[in-house]
Amino acid sequence: MLTQQPRNGRAPSVKDVAAAAGVSLGTVSNVLNRPAVVSTATRERVERAMADLGFVRNESARQLRAGTSRALAYVMLDGGNPFFHDVAEGIETAAEDADLSLFVCNSSGRSEREAKHLDRLLQQRVQGILITPVDPDAPHLADLAQRGLPFVMVDRFSRAGGHCSVAVDDVLGGRIAVEHLIDRGHRRVAFVGGPSSIGQVRERLQGARAVWAEFGMPEDDLIHLPTEALTVNEGRSAGERLAGLPSRRRPTAAFCANDLLALGLLQHAVTAGLRVPDDLAIVGFDDIDFAAAAAVPLTSVRQPRQELGRTAARLVLDEATNPDHVHEQATFVPALVARASTGTVRR
Amino acid sequence: MLTQQPRNGRAPSVKDVAAAAGVSLGTVSNVLNRPAVVSTATRERVERAMADLGFVRNESARQLRAGTSRALAYVMLDGGNPFFHDVAEGIETAAEDADLSLFVCNSSGRSEREAKHLDRLLQQRVQGILITPVDPDAPHLADLAQRGLPFVMVDRFSRAGGHCSVAVDDVLGGRIAVEHLIDRGHRRVAFVGGPSSIGQVRERLQGARAVWAEFGMPEDDLIHLPTEALTVNEGRSAGERLAGLPSRRRPTAAFCANDLLALGLLQHAVTAGLRVPDDLAIVGFDDIDFAAAAAVPLTSVRQPRQELGRTAARLVLDEATNPDHVHEQATFVPALVARASTGTVRR
DNA sequence: TGGTGGGATTGAAATGTTTCAAGCGTCGTG
DNA sequence: CACGACGCTTGAAACATTTCAATCCCACCA
């Protein structure tokens, strides 16, 4: 490691390295950035000096000179939901391939935190921003676009269209979930999810209703149980409301707007002594790892989480580097993953 | 928002603002950093110019001048485990209070990724690093210490002691878990966890064995089912091995080294038709939210996750700012949270 | 009227890196 | 021997910000 410690408070700079190696500071820079142009002897001398001094490049100075950072950022909506972690991993692999760092931020669903993060990222001069926004129409997002900073919405569609976005077809997701339940013989189904200010929730419900109608089912037999958030707790409380319904109105299956709700609902059902899927079948959405890991493995509508992230990163990089970039709304097709929670056919 | 777009490729700088407001660049800097010394009229003029131009401070230049960044970093071990996310949240609240940003990195248990992250963070000149290391004795960690960069180990104890650390008493955690099972009448118990290269696993097992011996139980009746990792999958496979034991050797309860293992084991048990807790009681460790959310809510040994994070951040900040800082090994006391998975007393 | 105090503003220096035109030697060729 | 070419190294400029000593200007006072 470092043999010499110039701990005079200040970290060693190229200048120090240059002095130690007896060369000019331009040469040190060449060793770092264009090793081919410097002679072997000099290079080795400089490299030894760097090792001895424990030299570490100062990224701010590089960045200042370069005018831009070597980083992307992802602002996620809910760090507590593993879904977003998986998306982040997809982004990170793509960022790594492009030799960029990734700053991961978490807005925790709070708009002011989101704005704060964005502000910081702007100050850092990140090359591009990926975001799953609290509110796709928030003014601070429009700001980004106006600034010309490459950014893409992840898991949300833009209505304005001044940027790229990456998401799955949520209407279709709703359709396949409910079609699966109809297939399994269910004739009274609950849709659990809310608030409807969230675009996804609306679209998944819309898909559910569409396919319900297409199969000629009575509108009233698709019951919407609204929730205040997409959390396990809310899923549990939806379970209570569901159990409170008069038995002739009580659904035999529930389609939840995401897996956290589904897990909460599952827990309530088990606690209440209901058998899943016999008394109540459950379908979730996202297919997070915990869905497969549940005591009764959850049927879920799978989103290609990592793929979503990778594509988003690809798009933001294209926008950042390609002058002919055109905005793109990448849509993925969700797929049903059938597991035990909808395992049997009702007669 | 910004009325004027100087999109000549370059973001507006203090110099541009100064020109637009008809003042010197020193004055602009004063408006930003010491608003009190500049007259109201000038200040307003400058502020308007900033708004018009859409001026955003360049953090790299600030940082270059200041010599240090305004950020902390947390390198977590496994982003897929919600435990670490909760720790990160604790850190973030503390960082926010100190008006610092937090860079969250994920080593995913891979040492080379960890090293890469650390290298980047060094280049960024972060004020301090919090880390749950893959290997507490890795040379790149010793490097950090030697560089004098404030860092603290989170959820791990250092043996070397050249730095702070924050963790719970894992031996005690193992004790209370197993004591709880003994209380509930269990006389044959499995410890599920591994690899034993992980300090935590060793210590939790050690605590388990200690209390087992103190209660005068035969050593052979505490059965170690080793796993290759602390994951749901490994928990499932441990379940299979457990089911394969001859019935007179088969434990009536399992203490898992973390909640992911416990969830996997629970899933296997339910799938295999075992009743939890009657046929098999289960205790986890960490008390992540998904433990409480399981179909059979999991009894778990709670770590104060956010508190762990907050304390770690406090310590690293102290090391960064207080010249009289002395390294501290903060220890928290784990607590048993009893839920349904150990709910009944065996006779 | 000259001087003083002080509030407001200024200009230059400094931070660490990269880039690039220019310089320096040395070697080979004519 | 002169010249050009080539390989390597150099030094200065530029990036955006902050700080601080110096300056300016005005009002007030003697």
Chain A residue whose CA is closest to B288: A80
CB A281 within 8 Å of CB A252: yes
Identify the band that residue A2 occupies on the pLDDT scale cut at 50, 70 and 90: very low
- Predicted pLDDT of residue B282: 98
Could you say which nucleotides of strand D lie within 7 A of any protein CB atom? 7-12, 14-21
Identify the band that residue A9 occupies on the pLDDT scale cut at 50, 70 and 90: low
Range of the structural domain that residue A93 is part of? 68-168+305-332
Q: For strand D, is any atom closer than 7 Å to the CB of B93?
A: no
Closest Cβ–Cβ partner in B7, B264, B293 for A263? B293
What mean pLDDT value characterizes chain B?
Answer: 94
Chain A residue whose CA is closest to B125: A58
Main-chain dihedrals φ then ψ at residue B101, nearest 5 degrees: -85, 160
Give contacts of B 73-92 with A, CB under 8 A. Answer: 79-80, 82, 85, 88-89, 92
Considering the domain boundaries, does residue A5 fall inside one?
Answer: no
Residue among A122, A128, A132, A118 at smallest CA distance from A98? A128
Regarding whether B193 and B106 lie in a shared domain, the answer is no
CA distance A123 to B55: 10
Per-residue pLDDT reduced to its tens digit, A165-216: 999 999 999 999 999 999 999 999 999 999 999 999 999 999 999 999 999 9
Per-residue pLDDT reduced to its tens digit, B13-42: 999 999 999 999 999 999 999 999 999 999
For the segment B309-335, the average pLDDT, to the nearest whole number, is 95
Q: In this structure, what CATH number is given to the domain that contains residue A275?
A: 3.40.50.2300
Residue among A273, A270, A271 at smallest CA distance from A282? A270
Regarding whether B162 and B95 lie in a shared domain, the answer is yes
pLDDT at position B6 over 60: no
Q: Do A64 and B61 touch (CB under 8 A)?
A: yes
Regarding whether B175 and B157 lie in a shared domain, the answer is no
Identify the band that residue A347 occupies on the pLDDT scale cut at 50, 70 and 90: low
**Structural domains counted in chain B:** 3
pLDDT at position A222 over 80: yes
Residue among A314, A122, A155, A260 at smallest CA distance from B11? A122
Regarding whether B200 and B144 lie in a shared domain, the answer is no
- Predicted pLDDT of residue B1: 45
CB B70 within 8 Å of CB B128: no
Regarding whether B92 and B159 lie in a shared domain, the answer is yes
- Predicted pLDDT of residue A13: 96
pLDDT at position B7 over 60: no
Considering the domain boundaries, does residue A347 fall inside one?
Answer: no
Q: For strand C, is any atom closer than 7 Å to the CB of B69?
A: no
Identify the band that residue B344 occupies on the pLDDT scale cut at 50, 70 and 90: confident
- Predicted pLDDT of residue A7: 45
Q: In this structure, what CATH number is given to the domain that contains residue B39?
A: 1.10.260
pLDDT at position B9 over 70: no
Regarding whether B187 and B103 lie in a shared domain, the answer is no
Q: Which residues contact A323 (CB under 8 A, 6 or more apart)?
A: none
Closest Cβ–Cβ partner in B2, B58, B267 for A295? B267
Considering the domain boundaries, does residue A62 fall inside one?
Answer: no
CA distance A200 to A213: 20
Closest Cβ–Cβ partner in A61, A104, A146 for B2? A146
Q: For strand C, is any atom closer than 7 Å to the CB of A10?
A: yes
Beta bridge partners of B225: B192
- Predicted pLDDT of residue A38: 94
Main-chain dihedrals φ then ψ at residue A332, nearest 5 degrees: -105, 155
Regarding whether A155 and A110 lie in a shared domain, the answer is yes
Per-residue pLDDT reduced to its tens digit, A269-317: 999 999 999 999 999 999 999 999 999 999 999 999 999 999 999 999 9
Regarding whether B233 and B143 lie in a shared domain, the answer is no
Q: What is the DSSP string of B183-224?
A: HTT-SSEEEE---TTSHHHHHHHHHHHHHHHHTT--GGGEEE
Per-residue pLDDT reduced to its tens digit, B88-106: 999 999 999 999 999 999 9
Identify the band that residue B157 occupies on the pLDDT scale cut at 50, 70 and 90: confident
Give contacts of A 168-197 with B, CB under 8 A. Answer: none
Strands A299-302 and A335-337: antiparallel
- Predicted pLDDT of residue B51: 96
CB A265 within 8 Å of CB A236: yes
Regarding whether A164 and A93 lie in a shared domain, the answer is yes
Identify the band that residue B158 occupies on the pLDDT scale cut at 50, 70 and 90: confident
Structure tokens belonging to residue B264: 């996997």
- Predicted pLDDT of residue B19: 95
Nucleotide nearest to A23 (CA to C1'): D9
Regarding whether A209 and A222 lie in a shared domain, the answer is yes
- Predicted pLDDT of residue A6: 42
For the segment B161-175, the average pLDDT, to the nearest whole number, is 94
Regarding whether A214 and A118 lie in a shared domain, the answer is no
pLDDT at position B287 over 90: yes
What percent of chain A is predicted at pLDDT more than 70?
97
- Predicted pLDDT of residue B5: 46
CA distance A2 to B311: 31
